[in-house]
């Protein structure tokens, strides 16, 4: 028991008012201190707010559980992830639609702008919007009213807009792929950036303990992470950020449970996450996929190396080659479908054509963007 008491202080993360706020672990890193300061100023204001940061850094969590909670808004919080809405339905999803205005529309429907009127509308992955939808969005933001597809009646739609992206919108504006007037309407002066875990080295030990404590709470367990295992985790780059850390903590708890022991005095089981479990799980993380390098050839040409497996039909070989080619282009252009479309079909080409073909070949753009982000951080 005496040995356990000496170890118990290591089981839980730092838990003081300066480092935690509900389920948000702010820590003490300068980047998080600046983020917290700006959110404290901007959250109660009616100004639009733009949140930037890598995938998995907690942009959605901050928008829902910190910014809206502090906003004082009387209306509801409405959350929409634009990367999950099919291109053909984005306008109806945002602005609403009258029955019969498009195939499959059997009832009048309010868009998320109407639903969030007087509250907060969180638009995640706003960089996914095509130019026409960007134009419509700008008009709604400027006028505070929305007209449903197929309707002529303007309806009140003036929520406080919080938008998020893992892409640099300013760069998209410079490249002509995001409207400058919409970007200015989103108010870049209120932009905040959520740092990646690798930028919070001083916070990582407590963040890791915090993730383990959250994973173990439902089982009324306590987690002990020995120093060597902790240092191994601190040195890892966490390309998936908080999302990856949370999944890792749950997995490590499951693999460590067979060796846990109970404490007869407190009723808590103490689970030790040893170095062997940490090594086993980190080694199981898939390496970035081997990609055929996309190499520029003569003007207007691009050459890549492809691998063709024998014993297949011509249709299977053709699809496999096309799949490898599109994957190589995707990585060569940093996931930019507009650039891929221009290279394949010429100026003015529609990115949807590329997106559709990738879906037909089983290439999921959202998952590939996650892999691309992981490659960039390793």
CA 109 to chain CA centroid, nearest Å:
28
pLDDT tens-digit profile of 71-108? 988 899 999 999 888 888 898 899 988 887 676 666 78
pLDDT of amino acid 11: 47
Long-range contacts of residues 181-186, Cβ cutoff 8 Å, at least 24 apart = 181/138, 182/134, 182/135, 182/137, 182/138, 182/141, 185/48, 185/138, 185/141, 185/142, 186/48, 186/50, 186/126, 186/141, 186/161
pLDDT of amino acid 328: 87
Specify whether the backbone of 350 is left (phi greater than 0), alpha (psi in -120 to 50) or beta.
beta
* CATH architecture assigned to 2-15+197-283: Orthogonal Bundle (1.10)
Phi, psi of 148 (to 5 degrees): -65, 155
pLDDT class for 265, splitting at 50, 70, 90? very low
pLDDT of amino acid 308: 73
pLDDT tens-digit profile of 132-172? 999 999 999 999 999 988 888 899 999 999 999 988 888 88
Tokens of 346: 């010429």
pLDDT of amino acid 357: 86
115: CB partners within 8 A, 6+ apart: 76, 78
pLDDT class for 287, splitting at 50, 70, 90? low
pLDDT class for 262, splitting at 50, 70, 90? low
pLDDT of amino acid 264: 41
**Is residue 323 pLDDT above 90, yes or no?**
no
Hey, which residues does 262 pair with through a beta bridge? 269
pLDDT of amino acid 4: 34
Supply the pTM of this predicted model: 0.69
Q: How many CB atoms lie within 10 A of CB 232?
A: 15
Mean pLDDT is highest, among 2-16, 219-233, 260-274, for: 219-233
Tokens of 1: 């028991």
**Is residue 267 pLDDT above 50, yes or no?**
no
pLDDT tens-digit profile of 163-211? 999 888 888 898 888 999 999 999 999 999 999 998 998 999 999 988 9
pLDDT class for 297, splitting at 50, 70, 90? low
Return d(Cα 253, Cα 69) in angstroms, integer: 31
pLDDT of amino acid 126: 94
pLDDT of amino acid 301: 65
pLDDT of amino acid 298: 53
Average pLDDT over residues 275-301: 68
Show me where the domains of the chain are located. Answer: 2-15+197-283, 30-193, 294-376
69: CB partners within 8 A, 6+ apart: none
| Fold designation for 30-193 | Rossmann fold (3.40.50)
Determine which of 119-123, 166-170, 349-353 has the lowest per-residue pLDDT on average.
349-353
Q: 364 or 75, which is more confident?
A: 75
- Comparing 2-15+197-283 with 30-193, is the CATH topology the same? no
Hey, which residues does 183 pair with through a beta bridge? none
**Is residue 274 pLDDT above 50, yes or no?**
yes
Q: What percent of the chain has pLDDT over 90?
A: 37
What sign has the CA pseudo-torsion 222, 224, 229, 231?
A: positive
Distances (CA, A) of 242 to 18, 188, 198, 287, 378: 20, 25, 11, 19, 16
pLDDT class for 310, splitting at 50, 70, 90? low
- Arithmetic mean of pLDDT over the chain: 82
Q: 200 or 288, which is more confident?
A: 200
Average pLDDT over residues 2-21: 46
The residue with tokens 């529609």 is 350
Q: 323 or 126, which is more confident?
A: 126
């Amino acid at each position: 028991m005496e040995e356990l008491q000496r170890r118990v202080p290591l089981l839980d993360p730092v838990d003081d008012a300066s480092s935690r706020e509900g389920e948000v672990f702010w820590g003490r890193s300068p980047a998080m201190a600046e983020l917290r300061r700006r959110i404290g100023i901007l959250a109660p204001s009616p100004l639009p707010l733009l949140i930037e940061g890598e995938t998995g850094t907690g942009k959605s969590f901050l928008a829902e559980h910190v910014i809206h909670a502090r906003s004082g808004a009387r209306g509801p919080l409405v959350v929409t992830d634009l990367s999950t809405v099919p291109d053909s339905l984005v306008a109806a999803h945002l602005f609403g639609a009258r029955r019969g205005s498009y195939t499959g529309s059997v009832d009048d429907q309010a868009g998320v702008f109407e639903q969030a009127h007087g509250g907060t509308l969180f638009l995640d992955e706003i960089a996914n919007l095509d130019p026409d939808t960007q134009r419509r969005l700008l008009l709604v933001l400027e006028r505070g009213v929305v007209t449903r597809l197929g309707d002529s009646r303007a309806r009140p739609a003036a929520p406080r807009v919080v938008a998020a992206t893992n892409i640099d919108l300013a760069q998209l504006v410079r490249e002509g792929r995001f409207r400058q007037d919409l970007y200015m309407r989103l108010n870049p002066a209120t932009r905040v950036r959520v740092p990646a875990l690798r930028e919070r080295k001083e916070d990582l030990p407590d963040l890791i303990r915090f993730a383990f404590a959250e994973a173990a709470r439902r089982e009324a367990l306590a987690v002990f992470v020995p120093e060597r295992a902790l240092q191994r985790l601190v040195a890892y780059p966490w390309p998936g950020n908080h999302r990856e850390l949370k999944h890792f903590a749950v997995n490590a708890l499951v693999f460590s449970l067979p060796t846990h022991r109970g404490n007869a005095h407190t009723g808590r089981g103490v689970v030790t996450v040893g170095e062997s479990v940490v090594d086993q799980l980190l080694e199981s993380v898939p390496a970035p996929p081997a990609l055929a390098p996309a190499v520029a050839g003569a003007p207007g040409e691009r050459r890549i190396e492809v691998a063709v497996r024998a014993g297949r039909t011509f249709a299977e070989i053709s699809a496999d080659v096309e799949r490898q080619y599109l994957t190589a282009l995707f990585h060569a252009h940093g996931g930019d479908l507009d650039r891929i479309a221009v290279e394949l079909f010429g100026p003015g080409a529609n990115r949807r054509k590329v997106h559709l073909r990738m879906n037909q070949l089983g290439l999921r753009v959202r998952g590939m963007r996650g892999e691309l982000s992981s490659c960039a951080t390793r």
